[in-house]
Amino acid sequence: MPREQQPATRPARRRSYDQFCAGARALDAVGDRWTLLIVRELLAGPRRYTDLHADLPGVSTDVLASRLKDMEQGGLATRRRLPPPAAAVYELTERGHGLLPVLAALAEWGAPALAERRPTDAVRAHWFALPLLRALDGPGGPAGDGVLDVQLEEGEFHVRTGVREPGSAVYGDGPADRADARIVLDAELCLALGRGEATLTEAVRDGRVEVSGEGPLAAGLRGE
Amino acid sequence: MPREQQPATRPARRRSYDQFCAGARALDAVGDRWTLLIVRELLAGPRRYTDLHADLPGVSTDVLASRLKDMEQGGLATRRRLPPPAAAVYELTERGHGLLPVLAALAEWGAPALAERRPTDAVRAHWFALPLLRALDGPGGPAGDGVLDVQLEEGEFHVRTGVREPGSAVYGDGPADRADARIVLDAELCLALGRGEATLTEAVRDGRVEVSGEGPLAAGLRGE
DNA sequence: CGGCATCCGTGACGATACTG
DNA sequence: CAGTATCGTCACGGATGCCG
């Protein structure tokens, strides 16, 4: 019997840096390959295993399963069983949701690397939500709070502006159930907004963003 | 001839996520094991290979050398040759220095994990610089600009407050050449300050921080 | 002696196949 | 659909050796 039976907990903790440093501790938890990208996906709301696998091209099934278990054990995510017709979904805990600033900082730093778009690059529409949120919730953000549908050539997603309740998704793939406004623009502009090279009100004035909707959010986007 | 001859540039770029996403691009550059911790070390100023190896217990020599080359090639760091008595040093480029917000976000998220101090944990004094800087430069930061020497039981380091010129170290190991003020406190308080659970002025008033120095920075720390 | 390069054992990773 | 099993490959960690 060479292999001890492993208890309910995962057998061996992942390799730790063993440093009394907050940054090193954070990397112990989320520094493994794919982990932060899984968090990015889950920031869009609850996702099924298959959804995650589809939106993370290149990750192998066992690594994805292993990371999800690690994240469960680490308190980053939970697995929730849905009534039988539907499958189980993974969703971030409040602690996992707290990684949004980390991803935002990484995305801001990595933004210049998006200058070139390699032919091998995968794209998903909701990957543009983070830069757009930066433009919406950041300084000079013109909009009131609400849910905004965003239509790109690459697809559609929605963002929830002005939200600070942890645990609730700040953006999501596809259209929202009830959107307060809707904009149509292209990805390039979306990135420029995130880099702060343009403001949303400017872009609306220049006609590079089409705004539709009736409520205060749409009005705010149109510049009052 | 199965293997192509490899040119002067590094043979194969590290495995990329191949995603058109700023966060994924950032992780392509700094997502490898040890890379962000090397950045953390270099944020303290130019360091020699041996210094880095000493302050990063567990990293193997070849991985450290490989990461430093990757960082050179990626534009994060440069290697500068010093006149013969001294050895070469590595220092961050402006781009590399731009990772400070990423490390700050990671450190803030990882701060709760410092509640327990494991016996296997390595400690270096300057690892406490980031939380302290958060207390100094953040809102309610009482201090004027200047260089502050900090004495912990674990060692001594210094921080440069109110600096936003990229490329200049914001903190460093050991005492500064010319410090405008000096404080003595313990690591626990340092972490509490970083978590925002206490303010520096409070702690000074309670006698948990000893302040010495004459200039405006010291006066500011003492509460005018 | 500092700054790596080389070698080697182990474990993590990626692709595919397979199962409840 | 949601993973587990298997396997080849590569990255990592540790030790040692070379070279200025």
* Nearest chain B Cα distance for residue A134, angstroms: 13
Beta bridge partners, B83, equal none
- The reply to whether A15 Cβ lies less than 7 angstroms from strand D is yes
Taking 60 as the threshold, does the pLDDT of residue B8 lie above it?
no
B169/B125 Cα distance (integer angstroms): 16
End-to-end CA distance of chain A: 73
**Lowest-confidence region among A93-97, A197-201, B138-142, B168-172:** B138-142
Task: Decide if pLDDT at B206 tops 90.
Answer: yes
- pLDDT confidence of residue B164: 65
Is the fold of A22-95 the same as that of A100-115+124-221?
Answer: no
- Whether CB of B6 is under 7 Å from strand D: the answer is no
Model-level pTM?
A: 0.91
Picking from A64, A109, A130, A157 by the largest number of B CB atoms within 10 A of its own CB, the best residue to mutate is A109
* Residues in CB range of A194: below 8 A, 6 or more apart: A107, A108, A111, A128, A130, A131, A132, A134, A135, B22
Query: Is any atom of strand D within 7 angstroms of residue A59's beta carbon?
Result: no
Q: B161, B146 in Cβ contact below 8 A?
A: yes
Residues of chain B neighbouring A124 (CB-CB closer than 8 A): 21
Point out which residues pair with A19 in neighbouring strands.
B122
Q: For domain B100-115+124-221, which CATH number applies: 3.40.50.2300, 3.40.50.450, 3.30.1050.10, 2.30.110.10?
A: 3.30.1050.10
User: Measured between beta carbons, which residues in chain B are less than 8 angstroms from residue A18?
Assistant: 57-58, 118, 120-122
Report which of residues B145 and A205 the model is more confident about: A205
The enclosing H or E element of B79 equals strand B77-80
In the predicted model, is pLDDT for residue B144 greater than 80?
no
The closest alpha carbon to A143, from A213, A43, A191, A44, belongs to A213
Over residues B116-143, mean pLDDT: 87
Average pLDDT on B183-206 reads 92
For chain B, the domains span 22-95, 100-115+124-221
Per-residue pLDDT at B153: 95
- A47 token code pair: 């996702």
Query: What pLDDT sits at residue A3?
Result: 32
Average pLDDT, rounded, for chain B: 88
Confidence grade of residue B141 (pLDDT, cut at 50, 70, 90): low
Amino acid (one-letter) located at A168: S
Structure-token pair, residue A169: 């998704």
Enumerate the residues of chain A whose CB falls inside 8 A of the CB of residue B111: 22
Q: State how far the Cα of A209 lies from the Cα of A132, in Å rounded to an integer.
A: 13
- Cβ atoms A60, A15 nearer than 8 A: no
pLDDT at B3 over 50: no
Contact yes or no for B128/B155 (Cβ under 8 A): no
pLDDT given at position B115:
94
In tens digits, chain A (224 residues) has pLDDT values of 333 333 334 444 568 999 999 999 999 999 999 999 999 999 999 999 999 999 999 999 999 999 999 999 999 999 998 877 678 999 999 999 999 999 999 999 999 999 999 999 999 999 999 999 988 887 766 667 889 999 999 999 999 987 766 667 889 999 998 899 999 999 999 999 999 899 888 899 999 999 999 989 999 888 76
Q: Which of A20, A32, A33, A99 is the mutation pick for testing B, counting most B CBs within 10 A?
A: A20
Which range among A55-59, A159-163, B9-13, B115-119 shows the weakest confidence by mean pLDDT? Answer: B9-13
List the A60 CA – C16 C1' distance (angstroms).
Answer: 10
> Would you place residue B139 in the very low, low, confident or very high pLDDT band (cuts 50, 70, 90)?
confident
Q: Is B56:B124 a contact under the CB 8 Å cutoff? A: no
DSSP assignment of A148-176 equals EEEEETTEEEEEEET---TTS-SEEES--
Sign of torsion, CA B173 B179 B181 B182?
Answer: positive
Instruction: Report which secondary-structure segment, H or E, holds B184.
Output: strand B181-184
pLDDT band at B166 (very low <50, low <70, confident <90, very high): low
**Residues B56-107 pLDDT 10s:** 999 999 999 999 999 999 999 999 988 766 788 999 999 999 999 999 999 9
What's the topology of domain B22-95? Answer: Arc Repressor Mutant, subunit A (1.10.10)
Res B111 pLDDT > 90: yes
Mean pLDDT over B183-212 rounds to: 93
